[in-house]
Structure formats: structure tokens, C-alpha cells
Chains A and B, each alone.
Chain A
Amino acid sequence: MSTKLAIIQFPGSNCDQDILEAFTRHFGVMSTFVWHTENRLPKVDGVIIPGGFSFGDYLRSGALAAHSPIMQEVKSFGRAGGPVLGICNGFQILTESMMLPGALLRNKNRKFICKYLYLQAHGGRSSYHQELAGRTLAMPIAHGEGNYYIDEEGYKTLEGEGQILFKYAASPQDREGGNPNGSKGSIAGIVSSNGRVMGLMPHPERATDQILGGSSDGLLVLKAFLNTTM
């Protein structure tokens, strides 16, 4: 049976078409859009929360979206072991809905940052880690609030439990020097304690074609997600 994905749409989502296109064109995977006011998820193998500026970033980035009716369903889906991927604003929505620990604060340099950078994939026990650990990926970021914050105790838990998936890197050789936004420990992406929910600030769906930006490394992240749905 073929994989089916749900892409959640909020007012202000703007990477929903891109992620649908990436999964359809590169993997032949069918996705269906689900509007945020829905109370039920269709029968799917994975859920994507795309990037954008849901509800105009009012209150805090992702805070209003986190309380949308559909998010109750997404929470149940994730708790039951369903794979959930949150990209950029999707990551912010996942932390605001407490599906992932920590919070995403305003960038330390106060600027909206839109650029390509490198990510170092770290080790851990989740299926995402198994696919990606040890790799260096080139991918763009585009955010004003990507400064990952968690207290010291929380950070030790993330490290100890192997929940850190990506750290920013200045170059393919660099381990942690390329922190663009002030994130604790240069964190760019994490997974939940059950290893099924992944959130990251960089945009894998914007790095799927060499001719657009010069990297197709985003496909590796999307493939890791698809393999988790199987």
C-alpha cells in the first residue's frame, strides 16, 4: 500500500505547496491538505506541519496554531507513534503545542535570516538518526524566530537521550561553529522522546533540486521521514 501524508494548513502557511510538490515529484507520495479547523485527521501514515507565518505570528510564532482544533488530533497521532514533521513555523507550532520540548525565540542578532548553511546530523536512537547521523547537509534557513531555547536541565536531557538531530555548522568540516541565531548548543533540529516527531528550522523542501540553490540534501531529510512512516 502506498504512503499517504497529511499536510496541515493554517492561515499564513506558505510552504505547504512546496512540501507537497517535493514529496510528489521526488518520491511519488500522495499528500492531502488538511485545514486547521478540521477535528479529524484522514487516515494517513505521516503528518507534515509546513513553514510559514501561521496567524501572522500573533501572540508568539506558532502559539495560536498550536491551539487549532486539528492539533488535538495531531498530538494524539504523534503520541500513538505516528511520524510528524514540523519545518520552520511547523517546528515552532510543535514546541508551542508541547509535542517537542523547548521554545523558539527571536534571533539573537534581531534579524530575519535567509541563507544557505550547513547542518551536522548528530547521533541518536530514532529512525531519523539512523538515516542521517554523521551526514553534513547544505540547506537554507529563513526565519526571524529560530533561536532554540531550553534550560540547562532540558538541554542535558536532549543530549543524554540522543534527541538532538541537527546542529548548525559553518562549513562541512565544522562541528558547531556556525550558529546563526543564538540557539542553545547550535541546535537546528530535534526529535521527540519517543523518536517519532521531528522539528527543524531549516527548509528541506527548498533544497530538493540542484538547479535551485545548489543543493538537493533536503531530499535526505524527506526520505528519512518517509522511511519512518513505513
Chain B
Amino acid sequence: MKFEVIVHVKAEVLDPEARAITETLHRLGMPQVKNIEVAKRYVLDIDQPTEAAAKDQVESIAREYLANAVSETYQVRRM
């Protein structure tokens, strides 16, 4: 079964990439764009007997490896 993990920097951490894109859109005449958040998306296909077990494993992988707890947060979703 497949799970989606979205990883992005915490709100209080400056994301230079998101800022660069926002500034470019402003320069192109779109001042309505107030803010942009950039995230990484991982799709994990997990072989486990139950959905709960699979979700636990995905949570653990996201927490330990895919996100850096110092600067990032993540969300897990069943696809």
C-alpha cells in the first residue's frame, strides 16, 4: 500500500528557494502571491499485513530519515 510523505521546512526557517520563486513572480507582475511553500514529496510503497503497521513504519521512516527534526516537519497520508 502506498503512502505519501510531504517534507517541508518549518515556518520559522527561511527557505531561500521559496523566496526566490516568490520574488520572481512579483517581478513578473503577480504581487497577489503572498507566499510560497516548497516541499519534497516521497511516495512509499509498503508491504505490511495491516495498514496500521504500514503507517507506523512510514511515520518512523519520515521521522528518522526523510525529515530533519531541527529544521523540517512532515505529513504522512495514505494514498
Interface residues of A (CB under 8 A from B): 59-60, 63, 67, 95-96, 101-103, 105-110, 149-151, 182
Contacts and interface: CB of A to CB of B under 8 A. Distances in A.
B29 to A, nearest CB: 22
Q: Is the interface of A mostly helix, strand, loop or mixed?
A: loop
Chain B interface size band reads: 10 to 19
A182 B9 CA distance: 16
B61 to A, nearest CB: 11
A7 B12 CA distance: 36
8 closest Cβ pairs, A-B complex: A103-B70, A103-B71, A110-B16, A106-B16, A149-B71, A103-B68, A110-B20, A108-B16
Nearest to B15: A106
B10 to A, nearest CB: 9
Given A103-B71, A149-B71, A109 B16 contact: yes
B18 to A, nearest CB: 11
Contacts, number: 35
Contacts of B9: 105
B65 A102 contact: no
Given A59-B65, A63-B65, A105 B71 contact: yes
A106 B40 CA distance: 15
Nearest to A62: B68
Contact of A110 (B13, B17, B68): B17
B33 interface: no
B71 to A, nearest CB: 4
Interface string B41-61: 000000000000000000000
Interface in B1-32: 9, 12-17, 20
Nearest to A109: B16
A95 B68 CA distance: 10
Given A59-B65, A67-B65, A106 B17 contact: yes
Contact of B16 (A59, A67, A96, A107): A107
Nearest to B19: A110
Given A105-B14, A149-B70, A182-B16, 14 more contacts: A60-B68, A67-B65, A96-B68, A101-B70, A103-B70, A105-B9, A105-B13, A107-B16, A108-B14, A109-B16, A110-B17, A149-B13, A151-B12, A182-B14
